[in-house]
Structure 1
Amino acid sequence: MQPLDFTVPLFVPGHRPERFAKAAAAGPDAVIIDLEDAVPADLKRDAQAALRTDFCESPVLVRINAAGTPWHAGDLAAAARLRPAAVMLPKAEDPALISIIVADLGPGIPILALIETARGLAAARDIAAHPAVGRLVFGSVDLCADLGMAHVREALLFARCELVLASRLAGLPAPIDGVTTNIEDAAAATSDARYARSLGFGGKLSIHPRQIAPIRAGFLPDAEEVAWAYRVLASGDGATTVDGAMVDEPVRIRARSILARQARAS
């Protein structure tokens, strides 16, 4: 299974193939060709026919329509022919259904399970443990609609923590956070990404090219974190103190993680 450890994947509407290369040129870690929410019902078949992966070297993912919709079977057939880096499954709720979808897709195409309903959240640990699931993705806006909640951090904290825990228990990469809906507010995208990182997320969905850089910045350690990490690792072994706080091996593990994240970005 291809690693799915990207940080900033970008959605592009599946019925707009003239935008595929432009999306890739914007510099995301992966491009998600969206056959679901971004495509009007009367253009779904056109989007299936427009699928391609030859416009970039980055991973190309396909978000299909959910099971039970009129376009689901056609999306699966199109994705099976295309063989993208992964298929994103909306409304993921049932590991048994994932097995059926994998059988239709054929071997070697991992599933990005989009957790965006109450049932999906309740089954998140079983979904994460499915051998074909490569990573969990948080559909925060849809979950709020399903539960009648406001799309605010405090309302979604329990769900985010559950996805981080489910991913860790299954040995998956850290989950991908949901979208920041305001595409004009770069500071909000960075703040949301930094908040998601603080909870243990490893990436965040982007819906516009101008969100890519702000989201990426939010997943990078800032100068203060880097300086702290260096001080921690220079403090010696065993139990010591840095800046008046105790330092032991778990703290050093976090410091090494910060410096490793900085090194990957440089």
Structure 2
Amino acid sequence: MSLQQPLTYLFVPGNRPERFAKALASGADRVILDLEDAVAPADKVLARESIASWVASLAADQLDRLLVRINDVTSPCHLDDLLWLQRTPIKHCMLSKCELSEQVAQVLEHMPPGSRVLPLIETVRGVLAAPAIGRSPGVSRLAFGSLDYLLDLDLPGPGFALDAAALAVAMASRAADLPPPVAGVTPELDATQVQSDLTHARALGFGAKMCIHPSQVAVVREAFRPDAQVLAWATRVVNAWQAAATPGAIQVDGRMVDKPVVLKAQRILSRAEPTA
């Protein structure tokens, strides 16, 4: 698993083509063209047509930064999404309300070879199946839809029950050797709230965040960026480890450092670099 992973996933409605290029230029690591919640049923066909027309003109590196969120398997639009998907060059897909590993396989059957799926875990069934979903071939990482999970379990708001589910998704990701999962959206545009939500998600093992507005992208990226003092420490650790004549424990700043600490330092440095 690479240390350097996308940190920001920006949603843009699939029926708003005038926003597509702006989203790609927003600084977000990945852009999610949405065919689900952001698009009314009457606009689904138009959204698919708009996306297909736009992606046809993109370079390969731009196309690789895109995902399409399709409707879940219980939606009457799901099959239409799959049939449409197989006629596009899109190779990254987010599956809404994923609850079974077989659902991932079904999506991949309609995509080009080498495609990847990002399952969005939003229900109790999805959380319970997260270990199996995470081990499914073709899964890039997991994401947790906290707002829909609150609705599924009829929870009044954030709290222990939501945290327990989020932690279960993070543990399933780690057990499957996937990157840390992607945290759900913050409905508020207030930067302080976005940062607070991300800090909480990181404490539960998450390593990226979905955004609903370009203004949130910079806030999330800055929150992930280590401060200068931490970066300096990580640099000293990695440099000392690389300079050591033999592998094993070394001393940095008067403290013993072994391999787990070095790995932590490498992860810190990777967060300070731009993502691919």
Q: TM-score, normalised by structure 2?
A: 0.84
Give yes or no for contact 2:94–2:118 (8 Å, CA) kept in 1. yes
* CA gap 1:249/1:148 in 2 versus in 1, 3 angstroms: same
The equivalent of 1:5 in structure 2 is 5
After superposition, what is the alpha-carbon deviation per residue over 1:44-87, rounded to whole angstroms, capped at 9, x for unaligned?
12112211323572611100111121111111122211131311
Aligned partner of 1:189 among 179, 187, 194: 194
Aligned partner of 2:163 among 132, 153, 157: 157
The alignment status of 1:214 with 2:236, answered yes or no, reads: no
Q: Comparing both chains, which one has the higher relative contact order based on Cα–Cα distances under 8 Å and sequence gaps of 6 or more?
A: 2
Following superposition, the deviation at residue 239 of structure 1 comes to 6.8
* CA gap 1:32/1:107 in 2 versus in 1, 3 angstroms: same
Following superposition, the deviation at residue 197 of structure 1 comes to 3.0
The equivalent of 1:176 in structure 2 is 182
Following superposition, the deviation at residue 88 of structure 1 comes to 0.6
Rounded Cα–Cα distance in structure 2 between residues aligned with 1:27 and 1:263: 13
Following superposition, the deviation at residue 164 of structure 1 comes to 1.8
Gaps of 5+ in 2: none
Choose 206-215 or 39-48, whichever is displaced more. 39-48
Give yes or no for contact 2:236–2:252 (8 Å, CA) kept in 1. no
Following superposition, the deviation at residue 215 of structure 1 comes to 0.7
Secondary structure in 1 aligned to 2:10?
Answer: strand
The equivalent of 2:120 in structure 1 is 114
Secondary structure in 2 aligned to 1:36?
Answer: coil
RMSD of the TM alignment (CA)? Answer: 2.5
Give yes or no for contact 1:197–1:219 (8 Å, CA) kept in 2. no
After superposition, what is the alpha-carbon deviation per residue over 1:91-111, rounded to whole angstroms, capped at 9, x for unaligned?
100112322232233533211
Rounded Cα–Cα distance in structure 1 between residues aligned with 2:210 and 2:34: 12
Rounded Cα–Cα distance in structure 2 between residues aligned with 1:66 and 1:8: 22
Aligned partner of 2:268 among 238, 249, 258: 258
Secondary structure in 1 aligned to 2:109?
Answer: helix
* CA gap 1:190/1:112 in 2 versus in 1, 3 angstroms: same
Give yes or no for contact 1:51–1:82 (8 Å, CA) kept in 2. no
Aligned partner of 2:259 among 249, 256, 259: 249
Amino acid at match of 1:238: A
Aligned partner of 2:209 among 204, 224, 228: 204
Rounded Cα–Cα distance in structure 1 between residues aligned with 2:89 and 2:180: 24
Following superposition, the deviation at residue 38 of structure 1 comes to 0.2
Gaps of 5+ in 1: none
The equivalent of 1:83 in structure 2 is 89
Aligned partner of 1:69 among 72, 75, 96: 75
The alignment status of 1:97 with 2:103, answered yes or no, reads: yes
Amino acid at match of 1:256: Q
Secondary structure in 2 aligned to 1:114?
Answer: strand
Amino acid at match of 1:190: Q
The equivalent of 2:249 in structure 1 is 238
* CA gap 1:27/1:231 in 2 versus in 1, 3 angstroms: closer
Q: TM-score, normalised by structure 1?
A: 0.87
Rounded Cα–Cα distance in structure 1 between residues aligned with 2:78 and 2:96: 11
The equivalent of 1:27 in structure 2 is 27
After superposition, what is the alpha-carbon deviation per residue over 1:5-45, rounded to whole angstroms, capped at 9, x for unaligned?
32111111111111111211222111111000000111112
Rounded Cα–Cα distance in structure 1 between residues aligned with 2:198 and 2:30: 17
Choose 157-166 or 48-57, whichever is displaced more. 48-57
